[in-house]
Structure 1
Amino acid sequence: MEIVERSPGVLAPQWRLTSIGIAVSISLFAFEGLAVATAMPSAVRELRGLAFFGWSYSAFLVMNLVGLGAAGQWCDRVGPRRPLLTGIAVFTAGLLVAGTAVNMVVFVLGRSAQGIGVGLASTAVFKLVATAYPPELRPRALAIISAAYVVPALVGPVLSGTITAHVGWRWVFLGLVPLALACGGALLRALRMSAAPEGTSAGGFRKPLFALLAGGGVVVLQAGGNAVVAGRTPLTVLLLGAGLLALVAGLRELLPRGSTRLRRGVPAVIAVRGLLAGAFYAVESVVPLSLATLHGFGTAAAGLPLLAGSIGWWAGAQAQGRITKVTRPSLLRWGLVALACCFVGMAALCLEGAPGWPVYLLWIVGGLGMGVSVPTTGVLVLEQSAEDETGANSSALQISDVTAAGLGTSAAGVLVGATEAGHLGFGAGMGVLGVVAAAVCAAAAAGASRTARAGEGTAVG
């Protein structure tokens, strides 16, 4: 393994404004996602909408998938400019609607618009990376996307909490509007220089409708899991059956053929991305709760591992952009092995008498694994996609990520509900979750060699 510096980099004059625009846009999306969790209690109280609490998250998830489904073919037909600017505009409109909402129904509509906007813009950003940067700089450009999540993770909860307490929850949304508009302006130059293929159509409504179906399947499956915990057997069968059918029908249209079989090349990359996202976000969602429940940590101490994980993610993202003489599939495998080791350690900490402090170190390892793996899957997809397929394949990659993350966090939530209902002990439940997540990552690591084209090693750099 050799680490080298190349010049010029992504901050060279010809790419500087593009890189800054990408970093700011992704940071805005990440900050908004973190800010919602902080602002929601105040918003629910003021809008008297406790019954709609869960819908603010579910609506975002479902409509995010719709945006991702619409963006892929649109980007391939007309280039990244219109999808990206449309996504930023819709996201901004969603901020305005949520920030000025008079009831929870309007607030949920705002969250839906934000989901569509993020789906459109995030896919277009991948397309922009493919068109604006030369191949040797794409790993570093994708590292910008991963690193852009770190600053919001560091300051987002504190900043949004301060804004909510001293100015009001509405400004958590409204305050982002000028930044979103400035972000679109920063990217205009790169978008003008990006070659647009022939075509004027957005690609129709087929994929967005199937994305809506898949997103609805995730929500219905979560409801079915909750029905299992509640012991409502007839309702459970109905919900789980309907949710599974909807999810499978949607993903069959949205993901490349052979994804479920890890067919060599792009389908295997997309499948592996889903496996690692589902495992990571499932465990991450219960880390603070586990530390508080099993080890008696306070609120601040229980949340610090997520900060440690963000730092590890940043370090991994930077490293993968600079490592050479190692094939991309091998790099992906090592990232997955790091994740599996992290989850085994998390499961061990659920044993009676185990200390809680090692979670800080473990979550740095987990973040490092994600920082290496996530950009690497993006590089593999861009390297193996024809020019008129980068949008569709990048869309499928993110759909796999978002869907698996939704399923993983839903499964973790159902498991927590089962422990609350007394069906099993909390430590045992979290231990099972860690072991299953480790097994998923180990299986993905075993299939990582299939993420290269047949007969290729897909070397880094």
Structure 2
Amino acid sequence: MSMSRPLPSRPLPSLEHVAKGASIPESVWSPHLWRLTLGLILITLGPAFEGLAVATILPRIVANLGGLSFYGWSFSAYMLATLVGIILAGDEADRRGPALPFMIGVALFVLGLVLAGVASSMIMFVLSRGVQGLGAGIIASVTYVCVGRGYPEEVKPRMLAVLSSAWIVPGLIGPALSGIVADFVGWRWVFLGLIPVLPLAAGMVLPALRKLTPSLTSGSFDPRRLLAAAGLVSGAGMTLTGLQVPSLPLATVLILLGLVLGIPSLRHLLPPGTLRAKAGMPAAIATIGLLSLAYFGGEAFLPLTLISIRGQSTLLAGIALTAATLTWSAGSWLQAKLAPRQGRRLLVTAGLLLVALGLAGIASVLIPGIPVAVASLAWGVAGLGMGLSYSTLNLVVLETASADQQGTASASMELSSVLGAALGTGLGGVIIGFAAAAGSSPSAGISVVDLIVIAVTGLAILTAMRLPGRPSQATRLT
């Protein structure tokens, strides 16, 4: 799920159409900002709908193509490729402006949709998800660069809520519509039907993107970041592959090589102190990663629980995901209302507790006597907590990052989020695959996954203790 994650920055609106000496706008829909706001919403819609649709219809795809062992990789390939897109596009948008990276991202995302729609095997489907992820990463990074560079400080909490609200329409109709299409027309049309939407949205967005100038302080291309991104993706892929191969010697080699490649690369790409949750921005970025691992690790297998274990329809699974989408937006707006008065640590901790409660609720649905309606209610609670905590964590990064590192800071924040989600879904798929290989039911594997993500939420609460206790001065003045 791609979400409302604006770029960290201090106030420096560099829109060419903002005249010198003009007063700072107080609304995201002001005359100087409404085109940019509308454009960012449109950018969000395509990947938002596709992400919700895949989570809903993936059990149908696996039933048609075979290859249950690739279930988790359908998410992980997307997310790992997204890492590369985020890092490359963030740097390029700083140097050249966001328009060109955005068009490249749209083209790649459309190509991924075509490949998914014609996939003849799960391997081809996983590859198509990687292409989609690369495009989506570029699009996402461009979005955050625009927010960080185009909006003044006091408007950014509200823009967070607006971007979160952009998920409402896909959340309302995406899972249910994708379930109906998959059941009555065929799952391939869920992907093929999206293709005309992206070029149309690109044509509407591009004029606003061209009005954003490159960063004057950005440096030359740094090949070390590209190498670090490739090392991180390769290392994560090796580690996840090693966890799935039956040969113990080969698994050991792959896991060790993956860790040797991945950990140093991650340290290079994230701000110093992130892996030890240093107080301030590093702790916020670390908490984002843990939160994403827990939330998306639980969400990825909720449709599998409802469809394959409890025997429910794809439509009902979509309703549970829709509930979380709506409450996520509500949580983000609640954040915007409370941010001027409440401490960051308190808001994040409250959100994390709600996520833990929701995860416990969907785990309980594995018990045959628990009504399946509990899944929608519990995941709605988790979505509320996600909107409250995730948006507040974005604010912490936004309030503490330097103004001349917008693309780099955005990449670090998104990298942590996407990597956390990739690990959550990937490790969950490995655990379920092991359970199936051992002759256990899928419910046994899902139970283990749910327990792990609840524990990770507890760890996130600990790292959140190193967040600021008070709102920033700039936010309190609004």
Q: Scaled by the length of structure 1, what TM-score is found?
A: 0.83
Question: How do 1:56-455 residues align onto structure 2 when only pairs under 5 Å count?
Answer: 59-95=77-113, 111-160=129-178, 172-173=190-191, 175-198=193-216, 203-227=221-245, 230=246, 232-292=247-307, 295-323=310-338, 324-350=340-366, 353-422=369-438, 429-452=445-468
Shift of 1:208: 2.7
Indicate conservation of the 8 Å contact 1:65/1:399, yes or no.
yes
CA distance in 1, matches of 2:59, 2:276: 42
Q: Identity over the aligned pairs, expressed in percent?
A: 36
CA distance in 1, matches of 2:304, 2:126: 26
Higher relative contact order (CA 8 A, sep 6+): 2
1:416/1:36 CA distance change after superposition, 3 Å:
closer
1:102/1:414 CA distance change after superposition, 3 Å:
closer
User: Per the alignment, in what secondary structure is the counterpart of residue 243 of structure 2?
Assistant: helix
Indicate conservation of the 8 Å contact 1:140/1:318, yes or no.
yes
Equivalent in the alignment of 1:3: none
User: Per the alignment, in what secondary structure is the counterpart of residue 14 of structure 1?
Assistant: coil
CA distance in 2, matches of 1:17, 1:246: 43
1:387-413 residue CA offsets vs partner (Å, 9 max, x unmatched): 211211111111111111111111211
CA distance in 1, matches of 2:89, 2:227: 13
CA distance in 2, matches of 1:443, 1:41: 30
CA distance in 1, matches of 2:62, 2:86: 28
Gaps of 5+ in 2: 1-24
Larger mean CA deviation between 405-414 and 165-174 belongs to 165-174
Gaps of 5+ in 1: 1-6
Equivalent in the alignment of 2:21: none
Letter in 2 for 1:380: V
Q: Scaled by the length of structure 2, what TM-score is found?
A: 0.81
Larger mean CA deviation between 87-96 and 135-144 belongs to 87-96
Shift of 1:169: 6.5
Shift of 1:369: 0.8
Shift of 1:279: 0.5
Aligned length: 451
Equivalent in the alignment of 1:9: 27
* Residue 44 of structure 2 corresponds to residue 26 of structure 1: yes
CA distance in 1, matches of 2:144, 2:229: 19
Alpha-carbon RMSD: 3.7
Larger mean CA deviation between 239-248 and 399-408 belongs to 239-248
Larger mean CA deviation between 306-315 and 153-162 belongs to 153-162
Larger mean CA deviation between 86-95 and 283-292 belongs to 86-95
Shift of 1:239: 2.3
